[in-house]
Structure 1
Amino acid sequence: MENRIYDENNGLWYARQGEYYLPELALPPEEEKPIGIWGQRHLRYLKEHKQLVYLNLLTSGRLNEYLSSVDEQAEDMFSRLVKEYADRQEVTEQLKAENQILWVQKMNNIRACVREVVEREIIYL
């Protein structure tokens, strides 16, 4: 018996483990995309609360691509909202030059608020 077989019906490779053939679900290194903090948070959410979605993405081989996309969307939204909130609250480079402590306090508050928005809108959906 062969150690590896390919199933043309589902496009998966199977490796022999004892008497059984188990699917090889790891992506080739060239297909892996980096996943940032937002994608990792969404992955944890999927594993804990949306197990069926997680398993479907994992077995179809689309999990890495999906998490990379979620990470990119969340990072774009985070950056855009931080800039918008800072503009609205007049947190400028001039404030940074004049009063660094106040600037840091306001920026930390803005980032915390935006993080909650991104988590509610994208990560924990």
Structure 2
Amino acid sequence: MKLNYTKINSYLIPDLIIPETDTRPIGKYGELRRQFLREHRPDMFDLMLLEGTLHSHLADVDAAARQMVEATVNQMAHQQGVDEALKRADPLAWAGRMNAIRNATEEAVLPDLLYEDALE
């Protein structure tokens, strides 16, 4: 690997270009992971940023979290009888119960996925 340098005020500065080939979107859970890494694991954040793996890591975490949350929400909604019949009969009650289920699911599932390498 050959590095190119740019001369600025008699200093040679390496031209560092990080190839970013992953174009998947980073959603809510990926952004939460980014914030956690930036605040609590800056060493890991900087290393992934320099290696060009940060975006793909965040996209992977987001996809895994989204899939796990959706599966758990569907399972809990089925167990609690929150279905299309309730949605047609009482949309406001359905929305309230679904929001409660989603919040409980995120509270239970996300710490393991997003903050798995928290400082002890």
For the criterion TM > 0.5, the same-fold answer is: yes
Q: Return the alpha-carbon distance in structure 1 between the equivalents of residues 99 and 16 of structure 2.
A: 44
SS in 2 for 1:95: helix
In structure 2, C-alpha distance between the alignment counterparts of 1:17 and 1:114, rounded to whole Å: 53
TM-score by length of 2: 0.84
Structure 1 length as normaliser, TM-score? 0.81
Q: For the residues of structure 2 that align with 1:63 and 1:25, how far apart are their CA atoms? A: 14
If each structure's strand is expressed as a fraction of its own residues, which one has the higher value? Answer: 1
1:82 aligns with 2:73: yes
Identify unmatched segments of 5+ residues in structure 2. none
Select 1:123's aligned residue among 108, 114, 119.
Answer: 114
Percent sequence identity is 26
Relative to structure 1, is the Cα distance of residues 22 and 121 closer, same or farther in structure 2, using a 3 angstrom cutoff?
A: same
Contact in 1 for aligned 2:18/2:51 (Cα 8 Å) = no
Q: How many residues are treated as equivalent by the alignment?
A: 114
With over 3 angstroms needed to count, the CA separation of the structure-2 counterparts of 1:17 and 1:70, relative to structure 1, is: farther
C-alpha distance in structure 1 between counterparts of 2:74 and 2:50, whole Å: 38
Q: How does 1:15-30 map to 2 (within 5 A)?
A: 15-16=5-6, 18=8, 19-28=11-20, 30=21
Q: List gaps (5 residues or longer) in structure 1.
A: 1-7
Q: Which amino acid aligns with 1:91?
A: V
Mapped to 1, the partners of 2:42 and 2:17 lie a distance apart of 16
Give the whole-Å Cα distance in 1 for the aligned partners of 2:4 and 2:40: 29
**Hey, what's the Cα distance between the residues in 1 that align with 2:40 and 2:79?**
36
In 2 relative to 1, CA 23–58 (structure 1 residues): closer, same or farther, beyond 3 Å? farther
3-state SS of paired residue (2:24): coil
State the alpha-carbon separation in 2 of the partners of residues 62 and 27 from structure 1: 9
